[in-house]
Structure 1
Amino acid sequence: MKKLLAFLVVLTVSVCNLNSQNKTIKGRVIDDYLETLPYVPIFIKDTLEIGKTDLDGFFQIDIPANENKILFRYVGIDPTTIELVDQCNEIEVIMMLTGTHDFISLKRAEKKREKRYKMLLELHKQAHENGLFKSEKPCYAREFESYYLDKN
């Protein structure tokens, strides 16, 4: 009887650990004009779609506990890769609209993109003040991704 009880306890703990292998992330996605982005696909590992935002840009996804990068892709908007930090279960993301630049070099166009990227932290504060976001600062890491130039 003791062996059966011990086996049941071990089995119950094992099942609980299997369920905790995922973490739930929720949040909101807007563009750099503070407009909501509906139905933005959300990916992990660059190709595995795990969810989409709703009509108001809100989402709730379950990802593996060991996964720390999430990718947002949308037509007409630069792809956004964020790296989750520990204790971050609610993320609020601002995606930059893709611009077109005629008659300028790729280097100059990339500098303009980088300048807009550097303004995202201030836009996050504005979104918080306008009631779009709950937090004043993002709780994830994000780096500027150059699409045209090598970082050599």
Structure 2
Amino acid sequence: MAEVRTTQRHGKNNGKKVSSRWREAFIEALARTSNVTKAAKEAGIEPGQAYRERREKPQFYQRWQDALCEGYDHLELEVLRRLREGDFVTDDGNKYDFASALRVLAAHRDSVAKVRAQRSNTSVADIRASIDRKVDEIRQRVAAREQARSEPH
């Protein structure tokens, strides 16, 4: 069973018990969701605690960046899968929000490009150009699908 301690630092978490293994849970959730607030909630911490850890611990910062890249890849693949399969409805019956997905992809492309360039020893400009091409391709597919759906049959 995971060790549990009360977080005293900076008076956060209001004395709630926090697993000393929160970092693993946070990184896993961040990779899955690309959302710091959701990842912090799943890890049982306040987002501020994760941000402090990121600022103070270079190794945690690197793992954070890797998790965001993984989340970015998952989102990119999810959008492409939905477009290819014509899957426009979420599990709860709502329309899949392609516009928000594209905004997230565009918002994180610089940080993802930087991490990928560091990993592959390629220039950030080359990686960013590659990402831009992918995002543009996704936008074109979304626009084409929307236009096809709006035209009378």
TM-score bin, normalised by smaller chain: under 0.3
- Give the greater-gyration-radius structure (CA): 1
TM-score, with normalisation over the residues of structure 1?
A: 0.24
TM-score, with normalisation over the residues of structure 2?
A: 0.24
The structure in which a higher percent of residues are helix is 2
Q: Which has the higher contact order (CA 8 A, sep 6+)?
A: 1
The structure in which a higher percent of residues are strand is 1
